[in-house]
Amino acid sequence: MSPTDGTRIDSRFAACAKENRPTLVTFITAGDPDLETSLEILKALPGAGADVIELGMPFSDPMAEGPMIQLATQRALAAGQTMKKTLSMVHAFRETDADTPIMLMGYYNPIYAYGNDTFLKDAREAGVDGLIVVDLSPEEDSELCIPAIKAGINFIRLATPTTDDARLPAVLANTSGFVYYVSITGITGTATPDAHRVAEAVTRIKGHTKLPVAVGFGVKSAAQASEIGRNAAGVVVGSAIVNAVRESLDAQNRATETTVSAVKELVADLARGVHAARSQAAE
């Protein structure tokens, strides 16, 4: 039994499966548009219907991200967001929510600069459940993946449309929590996934693992979330939520009285979509 067996992520996916519905995974960028507002959004996500939260770690060179998340990262960095502040957000969230899983998603550079051992210790103490580090390949598992697992933190790996059956075993070898299937080739938020192709890919990946398969990149609406969720164990939405933040800001990129409510309304709509996914498929 590994240190990550029975984590909050495992429990949440299992609970959603028991309800015969996909898990809604929502992404926001830590510190966007400022620390206080971002924390308010973070705390509001579960009540709006988010099952699992991805918290983006701002980095100056987010190579896999589309324009929306790149701009969010720039806003967060301009507002003074740091790794310590990101971990402090998780700690503050845990003061009132002990159940909702939180993953940190981003790039290796900020973690490396923080110091791997110190980062894993501080992340675990803050209440982080999982990591998605998009620029660390399976060949580098000894760098962070395996130490994270030993620290009791799930390490979630990405599979893509170009990840063939020969490559999948390496990708899945030390993955835990769930498998994140990237539904499109390219950067986030720039294309719409083909539900039929996604369903085929999910079925193929499930032939290699017992882990839940969640699908992200390009899911923007409740209808898309519902369609994707008919076959996937989870649906990940990021750019659309980040865009809801952006559209609520004033001309100086400052939060307004509608910023938090805009995110809550969108997430509530997405939650209705995923809750209806399997019932619609059965009709």
**Residue 24, beta-bridge partner list:** 235
- pLDDT exceeds cutoff 50 at 283: no
Determine which of 80-84, 110-114, 148-152, 277-281 has the lowest per-residue pLDDT on average. 277-281
> Does residue 3 belong to any structural domain of this protein?
no
Residue at 1 is within a domain: no
Say how many domains are in the chain.
1
- Cα–Cα nearest to 138, from 181, 175, 177: 175
The boundaries of the domain holding residue 272 are 8-282
CATH number at residue 110: 3.20.20.70
Secondary structure (DSSP) of 157-170: -EE-TT--TTTHHH
pLDDT at 282: 46
Mean pLDDT of 48-77: 90
Q: What is the pLDDT of residue 194?
A: 79
Of 175-189, 226-240, 268-282, the least confident: 175-189
Q: What is the pTM of this model?
A: 0.94
The answer to whether position 96 is within a domain reads yes
Q: Which of 136-140, 180-184, 221-225, 250-254 has the lowest mean pLDDT?
A: 180-184
Average pLDDT rounded to a whole number, residues 244-271? 97
Structure tokens at 136: 């660390």
Please list, in sequence order, all residues whose beta carbon lies within 8 angstroms of the beta carbon of residue 96, skipping any fewer than 6 positions away.
Answer: 43
First to last CA, the chain: 40
- The reply to whether 2 falls in a domain is no
Number of neighbouring beta carbons within 10 Å of residue 36:
11
The reply to whether 264 falls in a domain is yes
pLDDT, averaged across the chain: 92
Question: Does some domain include residue 87?
Answer: yes
CA 59 to CA 106: how far, in whole Å? 8
